[in-house]
Structure 1
Amino acid sequence: MTKTNTTATELIDFITCAASPFHVVKKSAERLEHAGFQELHPADAWRLFPGGRYFVKVYGSTLFAFTLGEKSLAGCRAPLRMAAAHTDFPCFRLKPAAGIASDGYGSLNVEPYGGLILRTWLDRPLSLAGKVMLRGSDAFHPEEKLVDFPKPLMTIPSLAIHMDREVNKSGALNAQKDMLPLAALVGAEAAKSDFFLPWLAASCGVEPTAILSYDLSAYPCETGCTFGMDDAFISSPRLDNLTSVLACLKGIEETRPDEGLRLIALFDNEEVGSRTKQGAGSTVLSDVLRRIYQERTDESDALIRALADGFLLSVDVAHAVHPSHAAKSDPNVRPTLGAGVVLKQAASQSYAGDAEAVAIVRALAEEHAIPWQRFVNRADSRGGSTLGAIASSFVPVRTMDIGAPLLAMHSARETMGCADQDALERLLKVFLA
């Protein structure tokens, strides 16, 4: 097996184990513990040591990991290098009281999370993952149970073309009416009963009255794969943004800096704007940095000086030129699958970056023979955005948006080039070294 195929296989295996943001953090924590990182807790006092390797989970779906150099953070311009990605992805989230019984069918009441492409979720085997909150020792300490049901539980059936002859011309879908997953046969007499909660309770090994709430996502119950005549491509759910999460993890796992601080931030809620307590649009990154610098130096301005000379990579996926819709791309800047890491730029600053940031990342890639390319939106297209511009507005540090190029971004199943994951991981390793 070639190195590129090994990288693709590891990515697919990681994605398979990470079916919700909570499972992304759980799997990431397991990797970090295996690599010798020590867990810290937000509510505890932190005692940090030179050369220490640490991680902290925030509300179960965001994670920070960092490693300290052997030298003090005080009295010198010790380098601060950070990389950020996000743990969430477009999907359907279950509403409370999710069971809907009608005409003998049991469907689940869901709502879209993020900007998903609705039609790509039709007729796929789907499952559920997330967390269930159970009654605990007292009201302020409920018990959390992570759940993943790695088998097909439901599907969202299309309407037959015989009943909608115009489906291939319009095919518009209503998220509330057309996108309810079919999960059970409940019989006509069950029209007013809640069939879902008893099933969930039995699956968790508890009584229905023990369940206080849940945060559950539907996900495609399909394993990713490589494809193509030379296996050049990866097809998988959740490439956005678990490609970047894994690259950040690999970068921080390998680094043992002589001086300074290396940190990765894996935020939740990027797909819905980042403005949550565990998102990039909060003070959580600045809070973690402040605690580190307060613990490791008595200099009141040490963090401010470190940020002024620091660097953040915002790592998220990018759009590749589409083989059937090339006119949707910029006429000159046209990234392709398999051609390397994408440096994303936008005059609007929807992608974070400036001329110095581009120069730094380009020079670093070229020094290490890592292929790179650019992305810009068409001037008449708004395009997307990432957490980089948001995070750097709360933590003012030079920032550059980069990522692996994709086709079918926000589809239930996305496509990338195998070689691009290898290039992304190599860049994160040398950046965080």
Structure 2
Amino acid sequence: MEQENQKLLQYISACTSPYHTVDTSLQMLLDAGYTELSMEEQWSLGEGNYVVNVFGTTLFAFHVGNNPRNTLRIASAHTDFPAIRVKPNPITTVKGYTKLNVEMYGGLILNTWLDRPLGAAGTVVLKGQDAFDVDAVLVDTKRPIALIPNLAIHMNREMNDGVKLSRQKHMLPIIMMTPDEESEYDAWTTLLAEEVGCQPEEILSYEMTLYPVEQGCTVGIHNEFISSPRLDNLTSCYGCLEGMLAAQKNQVDGIRVAILFDNEEVGSRTKQGGAGMILPLLVERIYRGLGLTRNELDADMGKGFMISSDVAHGLHPNFSEKNDITNFPTLNGGVTLKLAASQSYAGDAKALAIVKGLCEEANADYQLYVNNSDIVGGSTVGSISSAMFPMRTMDIGLPLLGMHSVRETMGAKDQRNLNLLMQHFLGDL
């Protein structure tokens, strides 16, 4: 278990932006023998293992067995996470302090980002021969280049009574001191150019995420917990990849799919998100590439199954009243099966029974989560993607404390349970 957790933390350390999550995951599968396909080409498929980089921030992987129509099983997760994104033209200066103009991505807990050393990761797009000939390059500073300083308590004696932070005013990170406020020196573009190894004028655009450079670690007298950035939802991405590697290793029949969507934290309604057409279109391309018909896909979809994996709210020992009174997952209690009468989580009685059975067959511990009826709670991509691609679906995930904090906490035993479930769901006959 300790070795598995260290692999998870290494994976999280490499996945500092959705672009890096896809790049790291893609390389894992390519190293294992998967064949990369392009969205821009027609597919002619046979038995084998394939992976597609979808617009840089979504990953689509699939295994085709000897009898493709045996079963259709899909697992999903999401590559994005609440974070701080750098705006265009970001440089602003106040009394010699150079700051970045930024915006918040997703529902992050703002005050947890204060006083943290922050690196920057994402993609930078460079000029080419013409407007459509551009080159996207991955960038990760791998060192802290920014900081959002707190205000001293001496300047706000009521700080411990609660402070409302302005996203536009209080959340701007400082990156350097500028002696001459009239200078036109663009520190940000210069930094990106140095990271890429190009001239500043070659840079056309970028998508850059600020991230905490502090690494994940185990915590507790007996190392019962894992504290790390981006547990939401890289734990699920890692579990899906473990399932796809098992499908390849075991050469299972049927079609096995893992899709790691982008943009879940902002609603999923994008070309690479779960509320778009990307999943149904890509699955249909598999069937066309195998010479199968739309009618055959419809029939297989009707008997297929999808697991949507995203994190869940573990019971907080200091706020136990926030959870449901009888359905409350705890850290190290296993995979959480998520239920909601509102269908903010995908699932029905049969789907729940199936996943319970899968967990028992895989020797994976599981528990249930239902929202406290006085609290709306969150939602995830399962209900959205299953509405776009109608097949029976169940939402699951690992229980966390501090979800959407700059560092989140999980049970040290729980990733193993998720891996066992995904390996069985995708990788067993």
TM-score by length of 2: 0.97
CA distance in 1, matches of 2:31, 2:208: 28
Task: Name the stretch that deviates more: 186-195 or 170-179.
Answer: 186-195
1:101–1:191: 8 Å Cα contact kept in structure 2?
A: no
Cα deviation for residue 192 of structure 1 reads 5.5
Q: By how many angstroms is 1:160 displaced?
A: 0.4
Q: Which amino acid aligns with 2:8?
A: L
CA RMSD after TM alignment: 1.1
Distance 1:49 1:326, change over 3 A: same
1:59 counterpart (49, 55, 62):
55
Q: Give unpaired runs (5+ residues) of structure 1.
A: none
The answer to whether the aligner puts 1:244 opposite 2:241 as a matched pair is no
Other-structure match for 2:104: 112
Instruction: Check conservation: 1:17, 1:23, Cα contact below 8 A.
Output: yes
Task: Give 1:65 deviation, angstroms.
Answer: 0.4
In structure 2, what is the Cα distance between the partners aligned to 1:257 and 1:373?
Answer: 30
Cα distance in 1 for residues equivalent to 2:68 and 2:181: 70
Q: Is the 8 A contact 1:132 1:147 kept in 2?
A: yes
2:130 maps to amino acid: D
Alignment match, 2:65: 69
Distance 1:15 1:72, change over 3 A: closer
Q: Which amino acid aligns with 1:282?
A: G
Q: Is contact 2:95-2:181 (8 Å) kept?
A: no
* Partner SS for 1:189: coil
C-alpha deviation, 1:187, in angstroms:
1.4
Name the amino acid aligned to 1:273. G
Aligned in 2, Cα 1:72/1:118: closer, same or farther, shift over 3 Å? closer
Task: Give the secondary structure class of the aligned counterpart of 1:301.
Answer: helix
SS of 2:52's partner is strand
Aligned residue for 2:144?
A: 152
Instruction: Please list every run of at least 4 consecutive aligned residues from structure 1 whose deviation after the TM superposition is greater than 2 angstroms.
Output: 188-195, 256-259, 297-300
Give the Cα separation in 1 of the matches to 2:324 and 2:230: 26
Opposite residue 227 of structure 2, the aligned amino acid is S
Separation in 2 of the partners of 1:364 and 1:388?
A: 18
Alpha-carbon distance, 1:203 to partner? 2.8
Segments of structure 2 that go 5 or more residues without pairing to the other structure are: none
Counterpart of 1:5, as a letter, is: E
Aligned amino acid, residue 277 of structure 2: T
- Other-structure match for 1:19: 16
Q: Would the aligned equivalents of 2:97 and 2:178 in 1 still touch at CA under 8 Å?
A: yes
Question: 1:136 matched to which residue of 2?
Answer: 128
The offset of 1:7, in angstroms, is 1.4
Partner of 2:309: 315
Mapping of residues 20-59 of structure 1, within 5 Å:
20-50=17-47, 52-59=48-55
Closer, same or farther in 2 for the Cα pair 1:207/1:258, shift >3 Å? closer
Matching residue of 1:305:
299
Count, aligned residues: 425
2:257 is the counterpart of 1:263 = yes
What is the SS of the residue equivalent to 2:258?
A: strand
Assess if the C-alpha contact under 8 Å between 1:102 and 1:188 holds in 2.
no
Q: Which amino acid aligns with 1:103?
A: K
Task: After superposition, give the CA deviation of every residue in 1:298-333 in whole Å (9 maximum; x if it has no partner).
Answer: 433011001100000000000000010000011111
Report whether the alignment pairs 1:344 with 2:367.
Answer: no
- Give the residue type in structure 2 aligned to 1:430: H
Distance in 2 (alpha carbons) for counterparts of 1:34 and 1:61: 19
Contact 2:139 2:195 in 1 (8 A): no
Match for 1:92: what amino acid?
I
- Cα displacement (A) at 1:5: 1.0
1:88 paired residue among 63, 80, 83: 80
CA distance in 2, matches of 1:252, 1:29: 12
The residue aligned with 1:291 is: 285
* Amino acid in structure 2 at the alignment position of 1:69: G
Q: Does the 8 A contact of 1:104 with 1:190 survive in 2?
A: no
- TM-score w.r.t. the length of structure 1 is 0.96
Compared CA separation, residues 242 and 298, structure 1 to 2 (3 A) = closer
Percentage of matched positions with identical amino acids: 49
Alignment of 1:180-195 (within 5 A): 180-190=172-182, 193-195=185-187
2:251 and 2:298 mapped to 1: Cα distance?
Answer: 20
Partner of 1:199: 191
Q: Could you tell me which residue of structure 2 aligns to residue 210 of structure 1? A: 202
Contact 2:256–2:426 (Cα < 8 Å) also in 1: yes
SS in 2 for 1:196: helix
Instruction: Give, in angstroms, the shift of residue 72 of structure 1.
Output: 4.4
Alpha-carbon shift at residue 193 of structure 1 (Å): 4.6
Q: Which amino acid aligns with 2:3?
A: T
Which of 267, 273, 276 aligns to 2:270? It is 276
CA positional deviation for 1:227? 0.9
1:67 alignment partner AA: H
